[in-house]
Amino acid sequence: MLVFGLVGHIASGKGTVVEYLKKTHNAIQYRFSKILDDILSRLYLENSRDNQINLAVKLRELHGNDVLARVLASDIKKDNPKLAIVDGIRYKEELEAFRALPDFKLVAVIADEEIRYKRMLLRGEKAGETKTTRKDFTNMHKRPTEIYIDALMQTADVTITNNGSSEELYKQIEGLVTL
């Protein structure tokens, strides 16, 4: 079993890395936001970035910064996939939970801020994203779930730069699989 944990800022390309590995290497994706989406849906609340952040903050306050990571790590152990991708590690406690898994690699996905902003506007992944101002986008990096990302990226086993073409990105991703 090979496990890649992805860390990167909003719209850096983590989702593209995941989709490529799912398509070309039958990777199984494990997302923190899936847990949050399930809870928000069950509570009949909008699946917005703000609601996800507020819920995640409260869960972490009650049960520790690694609460969601422990769930995903247990799911990975239970499923035992050949290739697992954890999308969006944000806290050192989460990283520690995954570092306990065999063959875990932390992968930083980086891209210039202006490129990421434009991508976010185009994708509209979360409610209200397509209307985000440049200032609001910059301020998103100050949210509680985003402030440790830079420090985590410094500890990455591998860094992928996603400022170029899809082909350039895919070549870097293929390099991961041979680690």
Q: How many domains does the chain have?
A: 1
Strand order in the sheet with 2-7: 28-31, 83-87, 2-7, 104-110, 158-161
pLDDT digit string (tens) for 11-62? 999 999 999 999 999 999 999 989 999 999 999 999 887 899 899 999 999 9
CA atoms of 57 and 50, how far apart (whole Å): 11
Domain around 13: 2-177
CATH code of the domain containing 81: 3.40.50.300
Q: CA angle 167-170-176, nearest 5°?
A: 150
Token code pair at residue 18: 């995941």
Fill in the DSSP letter of residue 127. Answer: T
- Give the position of tokens 């890649």: 4
pLDDT digits (tens, 9 = 90+) for 99-154: 999 899 999 999 999 999 988 888 766 666 677 888 888 888 788 778 999 999 99
